[in-house]
Amino acid sequence: MHKSYQSTLPCQSRILKQRWDKKYYDEHMQKVRSAQPMVDTKSPTTYVHLHLKLKKLQLEEERLAIIERDNRILLEKMSEIMRTTGRVDHRNNYVHRSLNKEKRQRELLRVTRENQEILKRILAREPEYNHEEWAREWEENEAFMDNIARFPRNWWEMEQEEKEQMRKEAKERRRKEAEKNGTSRSGRKSSRAERRRAQSREEQSSPKEESPQTPVESKPEETQPQEQTTQEPQKDEEPEAIEQDDEPATEQKEEPSTEQQEEAAADQEEEEPSTEQQAQPELA
């Protein structure tokens, strides 16, 4: 058995109620399917005379016909001229002359004369404003502003210049102290080669001063004590050089620059002639 129809409203016969409800529902669906819209959403009607302009086509055909007729007439004339000598003399040997040339020249002279007069009046006109008085008043205003201002004008640039000057003075002071303490340009203390070179210069200067006062006789026996005397101060001075070399060991090691390498090469070249000069007084 199938389930019986359940009506939403109370009724006496469910079979009749079912038939009536189905009929009402079918009628409603038929109305929904056949309903017309309230707003016309169809495309607008098209008119043939707006898209197909017959008058325009007729005018275009007439224009093309006129052009074709003119071209045909021109071609016939050209062919006739090519066959014969022609009926018109087309040589233009006359000089072109203007009919209003003199008038244009007079107008140009008049305009030029008026411009010159206007320029003279402008140059002869005295100015109504005195720029010198303006400059003087501006100087007075600047003086008043300086008097009431808290900081002078361009105080930032002045401060920068003072700092730069102080930096230069400090740099010059450090350079002088370095020269006084015997340091090189790079800030490091003088090396052993430099001290040896200074000692050799002192030793070279000392025998030259004593030679004119006490001439030395060439005796082979006395040469040995002279060599010993000349070598003794070097032995005594070596410990000092070693002690001085131990001091910069605590300093930071810097890589030798190109200028320092050139100085070292020049020092080696100077040391070679100094050794030869030391040997000459010993042989004497």
pLDDT at 247 over 70: no
Give pLDDT, residue 280.
46
**32 — pLDDT class (breaks 50, 70, 90):** very high
Token code pair at residue 125: 């006109």
Burial of 260 from C-beta contacts in 10 A (0-12 / 13-18 / 19+): middle
Q: Per DSSP, what are the bridge partners of residue 183?
A: 189
Residue 52 and residue 143: Cα distance in Å, rounded?
Answer: 87
Token code pair at residue 250: 């605590």
Token code pair at residue 225: 């004590």
Give pLDDT, residue 222.
44
Summarised one tens digit per residue, pLDDT across range 139-163 is 999 999 988 988 888 888 889 999 9
Averaged confidence pLDDT in the chain: 76
Residue 180 and residue 186: Cα distance in Å, rounded?
Answer: 14
Summarised one tens digit per residue, pLDDT across range 162-173 is 999 999 999 999
Contact 182, 189 (CB under 8 A): yes
Give pLDDT, residue 59.
96
Residue 13 and residue 206: Cα distance in Å, rounded?
Answer: 155
- When pLDDT is averaged across residues 222-237 and rounded to a whole number, the result is 44
